[in-house]
Structure 1
Amino acid sequence: MVQVIRTRHQGVPDIIHIRPKELRKVTFASSIGTVFEWYDFFLYATLAPFFAFLFFPPGNETAALLAAFATYAAGFIVRPFGAILFGRFGDTVGRKYVFLVTILLMGGATFAVGLLPTFEQVGWLAPALLVTLRITQGLALGGEYGGAATYVAEHTVSEHRGYVTSLIQTTASGGFLLSLIVILLCRLAISEEDFAQWGWRIPFLLSLVLLILSIYIRLSLSESPLFQYIKSRGQASKRPLFDAFFRYPNNKNALLALLGAAAGQGVIWYTGQFYALFFLQITMKVDYLIAYGIMISALLISVPLFLFFGWLSDRIGRKQVILAGCLLAAMTYFPLFQMLAQAVNPDLVAFQERTEVTLRANPDNCQLHVFVGPWSNFTDCDQARDFLTDRGVSFNIVNVGPEAAQTITVAGGEPIPIENWQRGTNGEAVLSALREAGFPERADPRDINLPLAVFIIVVMIGYVAMVYAPIAALLVEMFPTQIRYTSVSLPYHIGNGWFGGMLPLISTAAVAATGNIYYGLWYPIIIAVMSIVIGGLFLRDTRGRELTETS
């Protein structure tokens, strides 16, 4: 089945070539299982606004949403530890067996989420159990991607490696797309009340079917021929962690891969897809059916872009395509999101432009809440900021002394006190003032420019394709076969898990703290610029490099 078509380095195969039919099988089997794992992982992300109310105490919508995002981020924070754990086994035991373990963990944890009790039923035990399952998912996903990318790359010749591995890169968007479609069908099939009470469990329980199918597919795979070769020669690394991160130049390459490519790629991935979806639903108040429709349409249109930019990286280089995507995103995120706001809720944009909303508060009483839990204490200022942020209202913050009155003023009207904030009194007074000033509480479907909204999301997913399609080929080509699984996994999952996965949490907290609905975009822009500088100066392109046993 496996035919060596060129060798060097004392007979170790540089290029492993298999028949096209077998290559398609390897790529399909790796990709389909990875799609299902991403589906499992992103179900939570898509339903984060629901989890905010199901698993956290009521009374503060932004705080609950931040808590839901923090739980979402927990799965990302542990991904590098999963990369270390499963990467070691992948480099010592084999790629195929780790595939089976990671998908069992991911599928089992996702199925269990569908069985969890809510905060109303068991109190703080509910979010504790949810965090535990999210951590299990994160560990499993930490071992998944590096294995899939390494496994496919080790079956592929260098001339087409960017294109072939870009098929693996479509799986993340494919899993996101599948999660959106399943959730949408569930929400259309039952009432909103039933979905909020019990229908949200259905997509998680359905993952059991996908788990069984994925295991069946992966059992048909053989071990990577390159890994089989070095293991048969007794050349597999006995200390992959040490060799990857404490031996030069592998440790230098891992750091450059993280800061010069993976970090920028991670924030652009989550901005162009998840943050865009949250912006539509939470900030712009677009009905979920329309928001899902926009995202699904854009994702379907964008699939060929991943293959195109993977192919392009085979022609002009991996580094060039990735850094160009980072640069375009950093230059255009602010105008793109402003255009998106105008396209989906022009009444809210017009309201923001003509209406000044001012929060006068003592800065000592205004806290930045990122990780929310039983330890959190929300002041009157926090409650007022939450009320405005939850409605997508931009506002100015004026600091006053401890003796001055803390108030909200809408369009120069009568100041509304925020002391002893109660939603039924202070909040209703603020909402009444906003309505009198022409505030639109929901986006009017008749005013939504759907073609423009879809086009803007396609552009942002195009940036995702630029940075994401070549990243697998770049990473696998940077490291030798003995430590490739470990070396690829850790920088990728720190870049995506820590830099990218923290994006919804950090950006949402930044918006609430500043009163500017676009302020959260500074986070992905700063990280993207960092990757442009470091990658541009120090990262070497890997196009054409063979997958050898030595660095």
Structure 2
Amino acid sequence: MTTSDPTSHETPTPTSQVSVKTLRQVTFAGFAGTVVEWFDFAVYGFMATIIATVFFPDSNGAVALLQTFAIFAVAFALRPLGGAFFGMLGDRIGRKNILITTVLLMSGSTAAIGLLPSYEQIGIWAAILLTLARCLQGLSAGGEYAGAVTYVIEHSPPHQRARWGAAMPTATFTAFAAAALLSFVLTTSIGDAAMHEWGWRVPFLIAAPLGLIAFWIRRKLGESPMFQDAEEDDTTEHAPLRSTIKTQARPMMILGGYISLTALSFYIFSTYMTTFLREVVQLDAVPVLASNVIALTMAACTAPLAGRICDRFGRRKTMFASAIMLGAAAIPGYIIASTGSFGTALLGQLMIMFGAVTANVVTAVLLTEVFPTRVRYTASGITYNLSYAIFGGTAPYIATWLIDVTGNPISPAIYLTIVAAGAFIATTMMPETAGRQLGAGLDDEPITSAIPVLPTYSKVKPSKPKPVKVKTLV
């Protein structure tokens, strides 16, 4: 029995659309590819202080770091374009084909960074080639995450969407933990001198074999059942960009207002924290990387639980909770982390971690539930990546700049607190989407009409789900 009550304890199985076996295979494929994508993307952040000396040796420490993070932000500037481009293709030719393309593009561009000559070898061209490789990474990342969560959640039963969708945030935190762990192992085993000379290249070069593994896993799966259903409808117009923006502008803006917190909290927690502890707190590399590995690992372990809680209590309560947790913990977390020991560094990160995980989990499921099938990949890709470009990609740069300008080491946490307040306001304009039937085809009602001025919502009885044909695995 299906009910629209997000607090229902009933545990439906996906037998009406896909088998449990297929759902697990789909989730594993999405998880594996996302791990590879975000491991590749994360390595740049963990190698930022070394990359600054390799590609910008003539600049002083702060300027070189700002230049490195500026290139970090460039990749995010390309993500909305990648989200729109790959999103339209994903809505036109299928989710699976695009997810295969993005993981190969990311792996190739990441491995290219590991092969780049240094500034001492070719001068300014080293930085130019680094920027081009990061642009390719940005395009790939723009088509990956929204597509992966869409692919998984379109296979999932209505009251377990957050549970299965949580695999993607879990994959993201796992990827960052793996990147941090590899950085830690390399730093402790070969030392700083060797890391600056050649060791920093190793994590980038690992991308090539990982990408081939993810490609092999993803190519064996079929297409999402909802996309197949829309594909069989001759009246369906696939992903017209102008129509997508026109009909989905309001939900895109509201959801984007909340995702700003997801993006900022993720990178303030996962990427910038290591730079803060190294450059501002002056903590040694080993305790910094060790504390970050532990915090990211705990984040990956916490995400599945957050998915179940999100299904249990609904999206709005989860969104409010994440905004409150981050708003309350950001400043104390940074103050504690800045005291300069391994224990306090870990505790400060864990204080921010719970809110960041919660925000990432609810964002994953909202990307699918807020938009109708015919434009879902496009609308979610643009919304997610535009928010990440503005608030995620710029997070390390703005945090470094704020400390440099104000002289206040806690200024990044103040910035995060302000954004958390904005996300709280955006949540008041978001309807409850837990348990809602996902639409397919041009005849479904645009989500804009489901967003009232006041956040009061009535429950409706869902219609009986339409059986959907599923391609067998090859």
Return the TM-score normalized by structure 2.
0.88
Task: Map residues 136-535 of structure 1 onto 2, 5 A cutoff.
Answer: 136-247=136-247, 250-259=248-257, 261-342=258-339, 345=340, 448=341, 450=343, 452-535=344-427
Q: Structure 1: how far apart are the matches of 2:163 and 2:240?
A: 28
Gaps of 5+ in 2: 4-13, 447-474
Partner of 1:541: 432
Q: Structure 1: how far apart are the matches of 2:16 and 2:439?
A: 10
Q: Structure 2: how far apart are the matches of 1:263 and 1:235?
A: 35
Q: Structure 2: how far apart are the matches of 1:63 and 1:185?
A: 28
Q: 1:161 to 1:119 in 2, by over 3 A?
A: same
Indicate the SS of the match to 1:262: helix
CA contact (8 A) 1:158 1:544 kept: yes
Q: Structure 2: how far apart are the matches of 1:76 and 1:134?
A: 9
Q: 1:254 to 1:15 in 2, by over 3 A?
A: farther
Q: Structure 2: how far apart are the matches of 1:182 and 1:222?
A: 33
Amino acid in the other structure paired with 2:25: K
Q: Structure 2: how far apart are the matches of 1:187 and 1:271?
A: 22
CA contact (8 A) 2:71 2:131 kept: yes
1:453 shift after superposition: 3.5
1:144 shift after superposition: 0.4
Number of aligned residues = 431
Q: Structure 2: how far apart are the matches of 1:184 and 1:236?
A: 50
Larger Rg: 1
CA contact (8 A) 1:323 1:467 kept: no
Amino acid in the other structure paired with 2:372: P
Q: Structure 2: how far apart are the matches of 1:16 and 1:136?
A: 40
CA contact (8 A) 1:30 1:152 kept: yes
Partner of 1:405: none
Partner of 2:129: 129
1:308 shift after superposition: 1.6
1:21 shift after superposition: 1.6
The superposition leaves residues 336-369 of structure 1 with CA deviations (integer Å, 9 ceiling, x where unpaired) of 2111222xx2xxxxxxxxxxxxxxxxxxxxxxxx
1:500 shift after superposition: 1.5
1:239 shift after superposition: 4.3
Q: 1:520 to 1:264 in 2, by over 3 A?
A: same
Q: Structure 2: how far apart are the matches of 1:453 and 1:217?
A: 37
Partner of 1:379: none
Amino acid in the other structure paired with 2:199: G
1:15 shift after superposition: 9.5
Q: Structure 2: how far apart are the matches of 1:337 and 1:128?
A: 34
Partner of 1:83: 83
Q: 1:297 to 1:321 in 2, by over 3 A?
A: same
CA contact (8 A) 1:15 1:158 kept: no
1:283 shift after superposition: 1.0
Q: CA RMSD in A?
A: 1.8
Q: Structure 2: how far apart are the matches of 1:273 and 1:200?
A: 19
1:540 shift after superposition: 1.1
Task: Map residues 38-57 of structure 1 onto 2, 5 A cutoff.
Answer: 38-57=38-57
CA contact (8 A) 2:323 2:424 kept: yes
Indicate the SS of the match to 1:212: helix
Amino acid in the other structure paired with 1:61: G
